[in-house]
Structure 1
């Protein structure tokens, strides 16, 4: 096995757009579950709406790329209202079922030919990158006309690749700061009180439903921004936004710590580095004859290992790396 190549391929995931996008979505899920106690299993729906809102705004209406981001966030707000009005009074387990179904409804609606004019159904959308790349502040060509590259060590990017990562990190930093500021404010303290005992908060005259709705909207917007970052370097394909995406985000959240500010960021980094490492090592072990399976089967094995890891985290360290066990509603 070529360990140098394996480590170089693994290093990609440290600053990958996928890592940043999942960190943003996990930050939104932290607002939903970690701070508000909302058992949301439909984050894939928020990410899909953010990505499609961005792409459709550019391709179908010719709007600037930054307007597309706003449209994606507004789509998440509308989805939060539609989802929250009939469901936020449900118990946690019923809310989980409804949110899974809602995310699947969004994905299936995007694949139907009824909206083919805008969504291109199951084929997805692409070719919307020109406006964003035109706003790239990093030079693309050197003085001698050669292509500029940036980075250090195993991380080397073109100007467009660097721009995606820098822009995603800026959005992630803003999201993390907002969560930190909100949870230190009186609003955040009320939200955590609702997570602990919403009847007690209601007895103090607070509108519990309104606070839950606000948390659902804020977390949903972060999820939509994650969908935008996920779509920036490639294309928008509905098959991406399945329930497995939501479960990966939950794994990231529980790994880093549900009711923490930096837990989703660290959790996403660890998750994708491990996934990238296993995705390179397991097929190499299979090709070497060490694992009695094909390289395709070995590549799939990593998802089984992630599922086992998620179960072990919930059993033995439900608070995650940075979390406090006393703040988790499902272990009380």
Structure 2
């Protein structure tokens, strides 16, 4: 019984984690790229890296917090322009190859030993070095607070203040996306996804709209990178291919071209991994399945679940099958 009580507490802890919120926001951006526009972006982690490092490096060089956020946004938008202008006309697999290649170039560049004074190299940068300004904005009193069985410091590293900010941003981006997709601009995006030539015949420029979508989704990815760095550190290897693939799993699980799909998908993704790992470690003897093997088992089962979902419910949990027409 104690195990299951601890399990419920761990599930709540995972669901409220800033990392979960970071993946929600990055998945919302990816959903704008693929779900609503039909862009096969396999390099969303690159936007997370650019946005995250843009913020962290700026703050560590004495730039005020809100100006550092603006620099992060501009860095993500600039990366989208540099990536999108020559490639956004590509379709399907070609765009996927370019985006994953660009993201990997960024990751390997950030890992360079020569850039250690700026990026921290392979080890990255620990969050206490760049969190001072953020902590200073906290309206919470000093000390620790217990809520729903979870106890954290009010302000600091891995704190309630970070969780409030993270999930507040999730709410803002969800509402923003809902308003954006309901607007005439959003309807043009859906038209491009379904039939680009028809949109062009109406006098609209698919290239322009695709580039705008790439910028907006990329900026959201940048915010995801910032949030991902706040609890512990920013690290280039934490924003590699695996991160992008996890974002795709989250989006497809919750449902592409839905507003709440990234939110549901992210929570389910992290909770499922936690439950499978914990149950396997608790009930399967260590000489049969070690803790490391339990983690591998979790990934295998999640992969199988995703395969079954794509086969039998390709629209995801919240998706609409009518939204699955893609012009790729």
TM-score (normalised: structure 1): 0.93
Match of 1:313 among 296, 303, 309: 309
Task: Identify the range of structure 1 (299-308 vs 12-21) with the bigger mean alpha-carbon deviation.
Answer: 299-308
State yes or no: 1:269 paired with 2:264: no
Contact 2:309 2:316 in 1 (8 A): yes
Contact 2:87 2:95 in 1 (8 A): yes
Partner of 1:257: 255
* Aligned pairs for 1:145-160 within 5 A: 147-152=143-148, 154-160=149-155
Task: Work out the CA distance in 2 between the residues paired with 1:295 and 1:285.
Answer: 12
SS at match of 2:225: helix
1:169 CA displacement = 1.2
TM-score (normalised: structure 2): 0.94
Task: Identify the range of structure 1 (15-24 vs 114-123) with the bigger mean alpha-carbon deviation.
Answer: 114-123
* Aligned pairs for 1:59-208 within 5 A: 59=60, 61-126=61-126, 127-140=129-142, 147-152=143-148, 154-160=149-155, 161-208=159-206
Structure 1 residue ranges (4+ consecutive) displaced by more than 6 angstroms after TM superposition: none
* Aligned pairs for 1:20-39 within 5 A: 20-39=21-40
1:64 CA displacement = 2.1
Alignment length (residue pairs): 322
Task: Work out the CA distance in 2 between the residues paired with 1:73 and 1:217.
Answer: 9
1:331 CA displacement = 11
Contact 2:254 2:265 in 1 (8 A): yes
Partner of 1:143: none
Gaps of 5+ in 1: 141-146
Task: Work out the CA distance in 2 between the residues paired with 1:116 and 1:241.
Answer: 17
1:157 CA displacement = 2.4
Task: Work out the CA distance in 2 between the residues paired with 1:324 and 1:306.
Answer: 22
Say if 1:287 and 1:10 are closer, same or farther in 2 by CA, change over 3 A.
Answer: farther
SS at match of 1:2: helix
Contact 1:318 1:331 in 2 (8 A): no
Partner of 1:12: 13
State yes or no: 1:295 paired with 2:291: yes
Kindly provide the CA deviation profile for residues 118-142 of structure 1, in whole angstroms up to 9, marking residues without a partner as x. 11211101211111111111111xx
SS at match of 2:259: coil
Task: Work out the CA distance in 2 between the residues paired with 1:300 and 1:208.
Answer: 42
Task: Work out the CA distance in 2 between the residues paired with 1:281 and 1:32.
Answer: 36
Aligned Cα root-mean-square deviation (Å): 1.7
SS at match of 2:314: coil
Kindly provide the CA deviation profile for residues 206-240 of structure 1, in whole angstroms up to 9, marking residues without a partner as x. 11100000000000011111111111111111111
Partner of 2:58: 57
Task: Work out the CA distance in 1 between the residues paired with 2:8 and 2:173.
Answer: 30
Partner of 2:218: 220
1:330 CA displacement = 5.5
Task: Identify the range of structure 1 (6-15 vs 122-131) with the bigger mean alpha-carbon deviation.
Answer: 6-15
Contact 1:9 1:280 in 2 (8 A): no
